[in-house]
Amino acid sequence: MGKSRTSPLQKTGSSIGVGGSIGGGNSSLFHNATNVTEAKNLLKTISNNASIEITNKDIPVINEAVKQIQARMKEYGLDTELIRKANNTSYMYEAGDAIKREFEREISQINSLNISSSEKSQYIKDLKDLNTQALKAQASNISQTVAGVAKRVSGSEKAQEKVSKIRGMKSDLIIKAKQKSDANNKSKESRDLTSAIKEAIDNKSLSFTYNGKTYTRKTTRSSSWISK
């Protein structure tokens, strides 16, 4: 029998890189996968890593990632009454749902970052506060059915100005979180490379491969490594 394979997803543990939309806010898409095909479809729904090769061993990892997202969405859910009011005072009656979908995507983005759980929780709480402000701003809009077209236009402009400003604040917050995640990734990469070099020196190797690159040296006494 051949040697058992550990897939890239298994190596990452439960820390799946989740990004993008969470099924457009449709929580019914979140179910436990029971086979590789279902797991692959679920991974496409929650992750930017849908092209990764998976096996039956990866199914629990994917299901756990989904469970984590569901828990965050439940814990930090937006006020349904505010969503309804925002819908009722908006053109096409969907502004509240649009803000809710934005928040779900933001939860997904934050959950995918390489930052601590406490930091993720704080960022999501801050985003919830900002999205709640956006809902309140939209809900304070003047409904056309009450005030008529002329007043609705004026009220809509004010509401949209507030919502636009809040979107900018949310974007800044996510950029800050991503920058911290990038710094953590670079730090980990540096530590891992240093560890790989030390292992190669201890083994008196002339070459080793790390992160897709091959590093070589001319002699076992040399401390100068060249990457290819």
- Split at pLDDT 50, 70, 90, the class of 207 is very high
Helix (H, G, I), strand (E, B) or coil at 168: helix
Of the two residues 120 and 159, the one the predictor is more confident about is: 120
Element (H, E) at 46: helix 36-46
The 3-state DSSP composition of the chain as helix, strand, coil percent (nearest 5) reads: 65, 5, 30
The whole-number pLDDT of residue 29 equals: 41
User: For the residues 56-74, what does the mean pLDDT come to?
Assistant: 76
User: For the residues 45-66, what does the mean pLDDT come to?
Assistant: 72
Contact (Cβ atoms closer than 8 angstroms) between residue 164 and residue 200? no
Asked which of 33-47, 73-87, 103-117, 198-212 is least confident by mean pLDDT, the reply is 33-47
**Within 13 Å and on the Cβ side, how many CA atoms surround 83?**
13
The whole-number pLDDT of residue 142 equals: 66
User: For the residues 105-113, what does the mean pLDDT come to?
Assistant: 89
Exposed/middle/buried for 80, CB within 10 Å: 0-12, 13-18, 19+?
exposed
Given a cut of 80, whether residue 73 has pLDDT beyond it is no
User: For the residues 90-101, what does the mean pLDDT come to?
Assistant: 82
* Residue type for position 152: R
Given a cut of 60, whether residue 103 has pLDDT beyond it is yes
Q: What is the DSSP string of 90-159?
A: SGGG-HHHHHHHHHHHHHHHHHTSSS-HHHHHHHHHHHHHHHHHHHHHHHTSPPHHHH-HHHHHHHHHHH
- Split at pLDDT 50, 70, 90, the class of 159 is confident
